[in-house]
Amino acid sequence: MKRVLIVDDDRATSAGMADVVEEWGYEPEVADTVKAGWNSINKLIPDVAIVDLKLPDGSGLDLLHRIKENYPDVSVIILTGHATVDSAVKALKVGAEDYVTKPVDLPRLQVILKSVEDKQMMKQEIIELRRQLQKMGALGHLVGKSPRMQRLFEELEMVANTDANVFIVGESGSGKEVVANTIHYLSRRRNKPFIAFNCGAISPTLIESEIFGHEKGAFTNAIKRREGYFELAKGGTVFLDEITEMPIELQVKLLRVLEEGKFRRVGGNDEINIDARIIAASNRDPQKAIGDGKMREDLYYRLNVFPIEVPPLRQRLEDIPLFSHFFLQKLNETEEKHVEKIDPDFIEALQAYEWPGNVRELRNVINRAFIMARTDTLTVECLPDKLAGNRRKRSKDAVTIPLGQPMEEVERIVIEETLNMTDGDRRKTAEILGISYKTLYNKTKKYKSAGADDEDEE
């Protein structure tokens, strides 16, 4: 139950409000002066204070200032007569949540209180998410402790509680839809639908009907009215994935809809207001898509109010252990089989790979390894050859040399293993070993000829 303090010297008004507020499920307290109100604030620290602008011993604005200075998390609603609405507007600039005029419009007050409650709940959820992030490097279903991901988390927290259009750019499989879903989850629209639509996965002739809906008889097979994604997402979020795959003629219509804030179903005459946040995404470079005629520049700038770039997995290899444990945990929750641990060599092999398919490819690799595992641990043997071999070829940074080996043999082993580490790059190998390129060339030539002589003897 939320505590609500009502500060008003009109006892009939404050008592009436207290009764109604209590019926709504809140816990009311009443004060009639600035001094009494401030004492109650210090004693109760309410969730909401409803403060009259005109009080016997001072102005409600003074009390508002003191509350915001000392208890910034307490939401303040100003109570005012019609003649002092200008003062109420000033109060909003100082930090008041909203205002209500006398006589009190109870339905409006209830809406304001519910809105304040929702915002406070969201603040608490974000605080909890931040704790989660600090503890395990996760924000919703996004995972990462790398600097790039930490910066991405900060951007999402900043934009989530606004209604600004967002344009997400990232390679296929990098997690653009997860980013969009996280923005929705952190926003005040989180209890409304999240509708995701891939513009490149459906016939161009059907996209308009899918997005805007259609009326019965609008075209062949339109046997009944159908609501489109903009209608289905009322109050929520529409995610237009691969927006650059949308036909140009439909991009023109989408731009007009976004500018006017309303649309018509295909074959319909009635205008329907948009009540949905728009998030778009593309795996193309937007500027290149504009240059190639794949995207209208004016639509791009309409959607690109807050740009977000999702880094590819190869630029955040340090996040692979977190991703691996995250995916493994999900598999353990849904499958009868349980694999609890991951061998360090397994992670080492994953981090030596380039990941052209990004996080989606990693998830599939973990899934396959989970199926292949014969014990409670994911090992290198569970990996496909391209990853297991990749580790042996590229990620070996140490070599074991038995005692008693001649120096010439030690030198040969070190040179050959360093060549393996650099993928056969002789100039880089010579630089690492601190010898000239010519010296390295002569030594490797000598090793090859010695190997050939050995084969001849056999």
* Residue 175 DSSP SS3: coil
pLDDT at 1 over 60: no
pLDDT at 283 over 80: yes
* Residue 406 DSSP SS3: coil
pLDDT at 60 over 60: yes
* Residue 45 DSSP SS3: coil
User: How confident is the model at residue 409, as a pLDDT?
Assistant: 80
Cβ atoms of residues 4 and 47 within 8 Å: yes
For residue 76, give Cα distances in angstroms to 28, 192, 310.
Answer: 14, 27, 38
Cβ atoms of residues 301 and 280 within 8 Å: no
Q: Quote the CA–CA distance of 96 and 163 in Å, as a whole number.
A: 21
Span of 80-89, 247-256, 422-431, 434-443 with lowest mean pLDDT = 80-89
pLDDT (tens digit, 9 = 90+) per residue, 305-345? 999 999 999 999 999 999 999 899 999 999 888 898 999 99
Determine how many CB atoms are found less than 10 A away from the CB of residue 456.
7
pLDDT (tens digit, 9 = 90+) per residue, 24-51? 999 999 999 999 999 999 998 899 999 9
User: How confident is the model at residue 280, as a pLDDT?
Assistant: 96
Per-residue pLDDT band for 450 (boundaries 50, 70, 90) equals: low
pLDDT at 78 over 80: yes
Domains 3-120 and 407-457 share a fold: no
Q: Which residue has the higher pLDDT, 336 or 123?
A: 336
Cβ atoms of residues 313 and 174 within 8 Å: yes
379 φ, ψ (degrees, to nearest 5): -120, 170
Per-residue pLDDT band for 390 (boundaries 50, 70, 90) equals: low
Strands 48-52 and 3-7: parallel
CA dihedral angle for residue 426, residue 432, residue 436, residue 439, rounded to 10 degrees = -60
Nearest to 76 by CA among 103, 54, 46: 46
Strands 226-227 and 213-214: antiparallel
Topology (CATH level 3) of domain 315-394: Helicase, Ruva Protein; domain 3 (1.10.8)
User: How confident is the model at residue 452, as a pLDDT?
Assistant: 46
Span between the terminal Cα atoms of the chain, in Å: 88
pLDDT-above-70 percentage for the chain: 89
**Domain 3-120 indexed as CATH 3.90.226.10:** no
The residues that bridge with 5 in the sheet, in sequence order, are 29, 49
Per-residue pLDDT band for 92 (boundaries 50, 70, 90) equals: confident
Cβ atoms of residues 31 and 40 within 8 Å: yes
Mean pLDDT of 408-425: 81
pLDDT at 392 over 60: no
Angle at 132 between CA 128 and CA 135, to 5 degrees: 140
Q: Which residue has the higher pLDDT, 298 or 457?
A: 298
Per-residue pLDDT band for 403 (boundaries 50, 70, 90) equals: low
Helical H segments across 137-240, by residue range: 147-160, 176-186, 204-212, 229-232
For the chain, the domains span 3-120, 157-310, 315-394, 407-457
Task: Write down the architecture of domain 157-310 according to CATH.
Answer: 3-Layer(aba) Sandwich (3.40)
Q: Which residue has the higher pLDDT, 429 or 176?
A: 176
pLDDT-above-90 percentage for the chain: 42
Tell me which range, 203-212, 255-264, 383-392, 399-408, is most confidently predicted by mean pLDDT: 255-264
Determine how many CB atoms are found less than 10 A away from the CB of residue 401.
11
User: How confident is the model at residue 191, as a pLDDT?
Assistant: 87
The residues that bridge with 278 in the sheet, in sequence order, are 238
Mean pLDDT of 292-314: 94
pLDDT at 448 over 80: no
What are 237's two structure tokens? 């979020």
Mean pLDDT of 255-278: 87
Per-residue pLDDT band for 84 (boundaries 50, 70, 90) equals: low
Q: Quote the CA–CA distance of 418 and 416 in Å, as a whole number.
A: 5
Question: Residue with structure tokens 């976004």?
Answer: 258
Question: Residue with structure tokens 């994953």?
Answer: 350
Q: Quote the CA–CA distance of 293 and 85 in Å, as a whole number.
A: 52
pLDDT at 82 over 80: no
pTM (2 decimals)? 0.59
What are 262's two structure tokens? 């309303």
Task: Write down the architecture of domain 407-457 according to CATH.
Answer: Orthogonal Bundle (1.10)
User: How confident is the model at residue 398, as a pLDDT?
Assistant: 62
